[in-house]
Structure 1
Amino acid sequence: MTSMDHLRQSRNPVANEGMRRSADPLPRLLAQLIERAGEPASIERATSRPWASALFQGRRHVIALRMTGPDAKERRARFALGLEDAEWTLTRHFVADIKIDGGRSAADQEWIELSALTIEDW
């Protein structure tokens, strides 16, 4: 093959074009949030939408979590402690940002509203 043949070969001009995009990491993140919350806990609402910047792509998540039981208030405090520094195990993604946006309390119930940003890990 001559050097001219190299120039004529069709090449994909975008290196990642045609690569399968990673699946939404939300289900795995939800499972880890439930584990962190302890039982009994449930996901009351969860949404996920694509997100991108000039350099990164990922997903923005909004989650409502409910904890029940006589120890719900203490579990909520433990859940929130160090949440932003917690390690999450997601396939081909990492949690770039996670925070509690709000919540409410009732007898033996705690609701936590949080948001997270996951980025595709190339």
Structure 2
Amino acid sequence: MTSAVHAFEPTKIVRSKGIGKEPADPLPRLLDQLVARADGMTTVEQATSRPWASALFDGRRHLVRLRISGVDFASRAAAFTQGIGEAEWTLPGHFVADISVDLSQPDAEGVMLHLSALTIQDW
């Protein structure tokens, strides 16, 4: 399980590096940008990444559970999800081919968002 607190400077978060000729996993940078988009008390509850390939492309499939909390969590969650599929992401060596919110689970303290994303290696 992976957790991240956005209060840290982006330079303090551990970045994965590629092994050999493999490019770095874009998940840490994507998590930074997701947390920044949520704008406030946000925690990455779980994040996984696995290789993905088609006949023409190589990439990674990512699953993320993000908790948005705080007094204004409902409006921040709505702003976060609106237009997420068309949002611009900065991932050196990769681009986001698809991203979506698959499930939204509100409770008294916040909302848990289940996201899936596909990043493709940019050649």
Q: TM-score w.r.t. structure 2 length?
A: 0.82
Highest Rg: 1 or 2? 1
Residue equivalent to 1:24: 25
Look up the equivalent residue of 1:44 and give its one-letter code. Answer: E
Q: Which of structure 1's runs of 4+ aligned residues deviate more than 4 A? A: none
Q: Is the CA contact 1:28–1:90 (under 8 Å) kept in the aligned structure 2?
A: yes
Residue equivalent to 2:83: 82
CA RMSD, Structure 1 to Structure 2 (Å): 0.9
Question: Structure 1 residue 102 and structure 2 residue 100: aligned?
Answer: no
Q: Percent identity?
A: 55
Deviation at 1:75, TM superposition (A): 0.4
Mapped to 2, the partners of 1:121 and 1:82 lie a distance apart of 23
Q: Is the CA contact 1:42–1:67 (under 8 Å) kept in the aligned structure 2?
A: yes
Per-residue CA distance 1:58-106 (angstroms, 9 max, x = gap): 0000000001111001000000110000000001000000001102011
Q: Is the CA contact 1:103–1:113 (under 8 Å) kept in the aligned structure 2?
A: yes
Q: TM-score w.r.t. structure 1 length?
A: 0.83
Structure 2: stretches of 5+ with no match in the other structure: 1-19
